[in-house]
Amino acid sequence: ISYPDYLRLLPKTELHCHFVSTMQPARLLELADKNNVALASRDIDTLLDSDNLLDFLALFNAAHDVLVTGDDLAQLAYDGVRDAVAEGNLRYRETFINPQNFPGRSYADVVDPILDGLRAAEVDLGVGFGLVVAINRNLGASSATELVQTVIDNPRDGVFGIGQDDLSPDGTESPGAWVDAYALAGRHGLQRTAHVGETLAADPRGILVALDDLGCERIDHGYRSVDDPEVFARLLDSQVPITCTPHSTRVLSGWQFGPEHRIARMIAGGLNVTLSTDDAVFFRTDIGREYTDVLPAMGFGPDAAKQISLAGASAAWCEPGQRSRLE
């Protein structure tokens, strides 16, 4: 078996995937028509043409607007898994969902159809799943704490924890703004992660804020650790799992795949790196390509690839029994 085939067929666990970004562009246009939602453009290349986080987030938010009915949500949940199995042998996925981006709908009206779709995909395709409820950093701290309280008041099998994404209105990550929401989540046994240290605009020390002030059990992105020896040492010593998303960094930061890429330096330096798509369709990638297009170019062989796929399985938030099935 060739190395590219090995990479494509390797069973994969994905821990950093935003729900709406598994939507195929044709489906985005179809849903916009069906639900009478205006898009910035009808041309797919124009729609997907962002090269920085703030621009991209406009598309990310628009993709929420076209999902109107419960069936829209359930079908996307199912189709997104089916596509990833075909593209790169996905076996398990934890998906971020931003309930605050569906204004006017209850938490249950958003989460329950998605869980239905994911459950159907698990039955048909054998792909395990979990949801991570993500705080939209564009909105205030009290809205985030309310969201976490809603998660606590509406427990669901398969909702494992909380995260935070998007940017603050001033374009910063500001992870520390959400300490109350994270403390509340921790008291109620929810797992915690956060998008921190993603682009050059981010402070590497945001990674320490996530670990020390928010109590995160995982870190999303974390690339800026490479630029701060103390932060890097902390991630090395703790071996906290980090969800890295190579194609996302190429689109949003222009970082090309090679041995000097920050993710390559994180892997070579012994950090506990896992690989995911982030916003698969919008960054024109899929879970297979996060391995096939990336690891050979960064100088890693089959042993490193296998270790990374196993790192994803052991960092999953499902029951340990289900986790060992992935390894």
- The footprint of Zn ion on this chain (CB under 5 A) covers a number of residues equal to 1
Residue 198 backbone zone (phi > 0: left; psi -120 to 50: alpha; other: beta): alpha
The answer to the question of residue 53 lying near ligand ADE (CB under 6 A) is: yes
Q: Per CB under 5 A, does 94 bind Zn ion?
A: no
Contact of residue 282 among Zn ion, ligand ADE, none (CB under 5-8 Å per partner type) = none
Using rule CB under 6 A, residue 87 touches ligand ADE? no
290 binds Zn ion (CB under 5 A): no
Closer to Zn ion by Cβ: residue 173 or 278 = 278
Q: Would you count residue 290 as binding ligand ADE (CB under 6 A)?
A: no
Residue of the chain from 87, 278, 286, 290 that contacts ligand ADE (CB under 6 A): 278
272 dihedral zone (left: phi>0; alpha: psi -120 to 50; beta): beta
Contacts of residue 302, Cβ cutoff 8 Å, sequence gap at least 6: 3, 6, 7
Interacting stretch for Zn ion, rule CB under 5 A, among 38-46, 177-185, 200-208, 277-285? 277-285
Taking CB under 6 A as the criterion, the residue among 14, 166, 203, 290 binding ligand ADE is: 166
Closest residue by Cα to residue 180 from 162, 202, 156, 155: 162
User: Which positions from 241 through 260 interact with ligand ADE, judged by CB under 6 A?
Assistant: 248
Strands (E), 124-210: 128-136, 159-165, 191-192, 195-196
Q: Give 89 or 276: the residue with its C-beta nearer to Zn ion.
A: 276
64 and 106 in contact (C-beta within 8 Å)?
A: no
C-alpha dist (Å) from residue 119 to 116, 127, 133, 226, 247: 5, 9, 17, 38, 28
β-strands 195-196, 219-221 pairing = parallel
In whole angstroms, the minimum distance from the beta carbon of 8 to ligand ADE comes to: 24
Taking the complex as a whole, how short is the minimal distance between the CB of residue 289 and ligand ADE, in angstroms? 17
Report, in Å, the least distance between residue 18 CB and ligand ADE. 5
What is the C-alpha separation between 126 and 91, in angstroms, rounded? 7
**Residue 198 engages ligand ADE in binding (rule: CB under 6 A):** yes
Q: How far is the CB of 167 from ligand ADE (least distance, A)?
A: 6
Contact 60, 18 (CB under 8 A): yes
For 321, residues 6+ apart whose C-beta sits below 8 A from its C-beta are: none
Burial class (CB in 10 A: 0-12, 13-18, 19+), 152: middle
The residue with its CB nearest to ligand ADE is 165
Q: Exposed, middle or buried by CB within 10 Å (0-12, 13-18, 19+), for 46? A: exposed
Nearest distance from C-beta of residue 226 to ligand ADE, angstroms: 17
By CB under 6 A, tell whether 101 contacts ligand ADE.
Answer: no
Q: Does 278 bind Zn ion (CB under 5 A)?
A: yes
Is 279 a binder of ligand ADE (CB under 6 A)? yes
Q: Which of 195, 218, 247, 261 binds ligand ADE (CB under 6 A)?
A: 195
Q: Give residues in contact with Zn ion (CB under 5 A).
A: 278
Q: Which chain residues interact with ligand ADE by CB under 6 A?
A: 18, 53, 60, 165-166, 195, 198, 248, 278-279
